[in-house]
Amino acid sequence: MRKLLIFVLLLGFSQSYAQDFIDKAQVNGSFQIDGQYYQPDNAIGIFDSTIDGRKMGVNGFGNITYTLGKFSAGVRYEAFLTPLAGFDPLQEGNGFPNMWASYQTDFIGVTVGNFYEQFGNGLVLRAYEEWTLGYDNSINGMRIVLRPTPGITLKGVYGTQRYYWQKFENGNRGIVRGLDAEFDLNQSIKSLNDAPVRLILGVSGVSKYQKDKDPLFNLPENVSALAGRMNLSAGKFSFATEYAYKINDPSAMNNFIYREGQSILSSLSYSQKGLGVVLQLKRVDNMSFKSDRGIDGNALDINFIPPINRTHSYSLAARYPYATQPNGEMAMQFQLNYKIPKGSVLGGKYGTGIALNFSQVNDIVRTQVNDSTLVNTQGTLGYNSDFFKVSDHIFFRDFNLEIDKKINQKWKAVVQYMNLYYDIATIEGHAGEEAVKANIGLVDITYKITNRNSLRFELQGLFTEQDNGDWAAALLEYTIAPTWFFTLADQYNYGNPDKDMQQHYYTVSVGYVKEASRIALTYGRQSEGVVCVGGVCRQVPASSGLSITLSTSF
Amino acid sequence: MLMKIKLTIALLTLFTVVFMAGCDKIDPPYINESGGGGGGGEGEVVQKVLLEDYTGHTCVNCPAAAKIASDLQKFYGEKLIVMAVHTGFFADPMQPPFDTDFRTEVGDKWRTDFGFVSYPSGMINRGAEGGRIAGKGQWASRVDAAMQETAKASLKIEINYAEANRQLALKIDSRFLQNASEKYLLQVCLVEDSIMAPQRNNDPTVGETPTITEYYHRHVLRKDLNGVNGETISSTSIVANETYIHEYNFTLNTDYNADRCSIIAFIYREADLEIVQVEEAHIK
């Protein structure tokens, strides 16, 4: 593939367009280096043996994109030498994992090499990269996008997915092929171009091929998934829904059962100035879809189940994030955003923002396929499940209320309360541990000293009798806009039932920003936890030391 | 425009046909009944395979992995040898009932050398193709692939056990089928089977959750008998059909049940660490 790309580049260069190749071209790039120097810190369980000689870890990448008219090509370099703590050791290595070339016109787009793609909400296909998780399931192959008439888009993909640094060979993972068709009725039919009611319909089909090399099971070598979706909007209302179905796909993820998979995601929203309301519902049943049936970690996912929970940014509010359960979950979320108008009693001079959010995720109900077969027994149909029944088993519940208020030219504040139920046994695999029931409160106050200088102060508390008990956190940040910031922060696990683990996790940071470049240095401790992006999570071990992040783009 | 619409319809039809034809709906039976054991005529050297199961008593997914290993052993019979290596965080002794300690110096060394992080994971003949460390869902296909390899060597274990003083005398014969200039090592280990102790579990089809109180830990690695990396089979080039003899004497720990102990010996290539032959023999 690399040779082909180089050939394509050279071919273009060797033509009489050599001068255009340079003068009329555009080159863009982005780089990031995350490094950490680790030090033993016996109080939080980091010994020399934990570090095991690996005193430094570095994760870095560079993306370069070359564009000349309708042609573009790019490379991505990555280095994990050694991977930072908490990243999969399979990341270790350096090189150019991704290279691609593309040609795009109004009618057709062709890409060869590595690419990212999503059909609809991703229920049957989503190839994406998430740096903070060390996740990349990009497809190495070919993609064609056709736009035969206005409002109609057809996509076809064919290839294999990235699995760290492992080359695809000898059928060591499956081949993915997919088609998506989207019809925007308002764009397709001229008379409906400006209609107040807008409708977009889409259908997707994805199939994987993986040879059956398993001696125990009689496995399907071709597994298909189909999905249909609709986006309907009328005035201030909009409704979106997608349903996906997958045929039998026994895998390590579902304990090699032969049940089909289903998933539905629906969203109803209302929006007007100062008010937004969203209601979302989701049902997932046996919908893990990977291009290697033997893998059970965060890799080689063909599809993506979107989470419908609020993503929290404050450290203690984000301490127990929800990880999507692709084997089965029923979820709902309600979100209300209201801006109390300026000049009213509660709104004051600048108005007051209120965000109310509630989400809950339960298990689905599973019953035995017959009297003699336990639920989810491998080599069987697994279980029966009533589509509309909700299990009493709660995985996750989050009620939170946030108020943000600009008090005057100098002061503004954010106050948040959160009530959490977190089934740590299911989400983090801590079998036998009681679910975490927590109350979390926080205030975030910003004081603008001058136009360029500001102070921000955070105070948070997490109160629970489960897991590691109570936490308190404080942060003070001084910003000299637009270039410098200095941060002092501490998380204190004062309620840990293990007295020895009632530790402070302090950090001191300094950062410098200039144009598109950013450098940040942090010294201190990182507590053990989980980081999730889009319902996909990775464990973060406790660490101590000096870290640096450097990023730039052009 | 009409041409483009026709093209669109043609492409959609083509893909629909491909997708409809591209589905393999499997009907029962889902499990292959015929076993993969046996094999090897008289005098023929049978390729055996070692499945190393890296595990721990607080690892909730490990009983499901142990069941896969057990199912594979039933399928392949004596051709598949299983060794459970208890090491890492999930094997650490904790508050009762998880206060047993199955960790070994050799297991801890292998864990760090091979880079085990997530559990359950394993190695099949320590083969590197497709990644040396394999999740439990990959074990069956990897074991099957390893079974297809042509045997390069044979191993024979002779055990003389004196029950009175628990003295063990081992004689291990290694014989290669072809000349070899590469360096090979012999690793000899003691394992104990079916030790009852509590185990965390989250798979109700395997046992009670969240803890199986009376769990039988299978094929538990107890110790190495010739160093964590074994020892060189021959200081000179390997000569085909020559028998290389290694002998060991040791006293069996009184904590171990001799009725359930066995010796696992394997030959591996130093260059890529891949195991080329393995054998197991019961002490009694």
Cross-chain CB nearest to B8 (options A154, A430, A431): A154
Give A2 to chain B, closest Cα distance, Å.
Answer: 21
Which tens digit of pLDDT belongs to each residue from B89-136?
Answer: 899 999 899 999 999 999 999 998 998 888 899 999 999 887 899 999
Give A184 to chain B, closest Cα distance, Å.
Answer: 15
- Please indicate whether, in this complex, the C-beta atoms of A149 and B8 are within 8 angstroms of each other: yes
What's the whole-number mean pLDDT along residues B159-173? 95
Rg (CA), chain B: 23
Answer for the pair A122, A109: CB distance below 8 angstroms, yes or no. no
Give B206 to chain A, closest Cα distance, Å.
Answer: 9
Closest-CA residue of chain A to B75: A216
Q: Which two tokens stand for residue B277?
A: 């032959």
Q: Is B84 exposed, middle or buried (0-12, 13-18, 19+ CB in 10 A)?
A: buried
Helical spans, DSSP H, in chain B: 2-21, 62-76, 105-114, 136-147
- Please indicate whether, in this complex, the C-beta atoms of B137 and A251 are within 8 angstroms of each other: yes
Q: Does position A491 have pLDDT exceeding 80, yes or no?
A: yes
Cα separation of A522 and A541, whole Å?
17
What's the whole-number mean pLDDT along residues B208-223? 96
Candidates A106, A216, A377, A426: best to mutate against B (most CBs of B within 10 A) is A216
Cross-chain CB nearest to A432 (options B8, B115, B211): B211
Cross-chain CB nearest to B26 (options A154, A209, A258): A258
The 8-class DSSP code of residue A452 comes to: S
- Please indicate whether, in this complex, the C-beta atoms of B72 and A215 are within 8 angstroms of each other: yes
pLDDT band at B205 (very low <50, low <70, confident <90, very high): very high
- Please indicate whether, in this complex, the C-beta atoms of B26 and A248 are within 8 angstroms of each other: yes
Which tens digit of pLDDT belongs to each residue from B187-203?
Answer: 999 999 999 999 999 89
Contacts of A432 in chain B (CB under 8 A): 200, 209-211
Give A296 to chain B, closest Cα distance, Å.
Answer: 7
Q: Does B259 touch chain A (CB under 8 A)?
A: no
- Please indicate whether, in this complex, the C-beta atoms of A205 and B15 are within 8 angstroms of each other: yes
Which tens digit of pLDDT belongs to each residue from B4-50?
Answer: 567 667 767 766 666 666 688 999 999 987 666 666 566 789 999 99
Q: Does B207 touch chain A (CB under 8 A)?
A: no
In sequence order, the β-bridge partners of residue A413 are A405, A445
Contacts of B26 in chain A (CB under 8 A): 218-220, 248, 258
Largest CA distance in chain A: 76
What pLDDT is recorded for position B39? 60
Q: Does position A176 have pLDDT exceeding 80, yes or no?
A: yes
- Please indicate whether, in this complex, the C-beta atoms of A215 and B26 are within 8 angstroms of each other: no
Closest-CA residue of chain B to A372: B205
Contacts of B15 in chain A (CB under 8 A): 156, 179, 205
Which tens digit of pLDDT belongs to each residue from B216-234?
Answer: 999 999 999 999 999 999 9
Closest-CA residue of chain A to B202: A431
What pLDDT is recorded for position B142? 94
Give A221 to chain B, closest Cα distance, Å.
Answer: 6
* Residue linked to tokens 């023999």: B281
Contacts of A428 in chain B (CB under 8 A): none
Query: Torsion angle, CA of A542/B118/B95/A531, rounded to 10 degrees?
Result: 40
What pLDDT is recorded for position A540? 86
Contacts of B71 in chain A (CB under 8 A): 216
- Please indicate whether, in this complex, the C-beta atoms of B143 and A215 are within 8 angstroms of each other: yes
pTM, two decimals, is 0.90
Contacts of A174 in chain B (CB under 8 A): none
Phi first, then psi: give them for residue A217, nearest 5 degrees.
-110, 150
Phi first, then psi: give them for residue B188, nearest 5 degrees.
-125, 130
Give B98 to chain A, closest Cα distance, Å.
Answer: 13
Q: Does position B242 have pLDDT exceeding 60, yes or no?
A: yes
Q: Does B213 touch chain A (CB under 8 A)?
A: no
* Residue from B248, B211, B204 nearest B226 by CA: B248
Q: Does B16 touch chain A (CB under 8 A)?
A: yes
Phi first, then psi: give them for residue B61, nearest 5 degrees.
-90, -5
What pLDDT is recorded for position B38? 62
Interior CA angle at A486 toward A483 and A488, to 5°?
A: 160
Closest-CA residue of chain A to B146: A213
Closest-CA residue of chain B to A169: B130
pLDDT band at A7 (very low <50, low <70, confident <90, very high): low
- Please indicate whether, in this complex, the C-beta atoms of A89 and B138 are within 8 angstroms of each other: no
Give B29 to chain A, closest Cα distance, Å.
Answer: 8
Preceding omega of B210 cis (within 30 degrees of 0): yes
Q: Measuring CA to CA, how many Å separate A207 from each of A245, A294, A382, B20?
A: 12, 17, 22, 10
Contacts of B72 in chain A (CB under 8 A): 215-216
Cα separation of A267 and A287, whole Å?
19
Summary mean pLDDT of chain A: 93
Q: Does B19 touch chain A (CB under 8 A)?
A: yes
Which tens digit of pLDDT belongs to each residue from A385-402?
Answer: 999 999 999 999 999 999
Closest-CA residue of chain A to B199: A431
What pLDDT is recorded for position A297? 85
Share of chain A above pLDDT 90, in %: 84
| H/E stretch holding A14 | helix A2-14
Is beta strand B80-86 parallel, antiparallel or unpaired with respect to B49-55?
parallel
Cross-chain CB nearest to A154 (options B11, B24, B61): B11
- Chain B segment 171-200 residues within 8 A of A by beta carbon are 200
Cross-chain CB nearest to B200 (options A205, A295, A432): A432
Closest-CA residue of chain A to B137: A294
Closest-CA residue of chain B to A220: B24
Which tens digit of pLDDT belongs to each residue from A181-210?
Answer: 999 999 988 888 889 999 999 999 999 999
Q: Does position B60 have pLDDT exceeding 70, yes or no?
A: yes
What pLDDT is recorded for position B8? 66
pLDDT band at B267 (very low <50, low <70, confident <90, very high): very high
> B208: helix, coil or strand?
coil
Cα separation of A86 and A88, whole Å?
7
- Please indicate whether, in this complex, the C-beta atoms of A181 and B12 are within 8 angstroms of each other: yes
Closest-CA residue of chain B to A183: B8
Q: Tally C-beta pairs within 8 A across A and B.
A: 153
- Chain B segment 138-177 residues within 8 A of A by beta carbon are 138-141, 143-145
Interior CA angle at A293 toward A229 and B27, to 5°?
A: 80
pLDDT band at A89 (very low <50, low <70, confident <90, very high): confident
- Please indicate whether, in this complex, the C-beta atoms of A216 and B31 are within 8 angstroms of each other: yes
Q: Does position A157 have pLDDT exceeding 60, yes or no?
A: yes
- Please indicate whether, in this complex, the C-beta atoms of B26 and A219 are within 8 angstroms of each other: yes
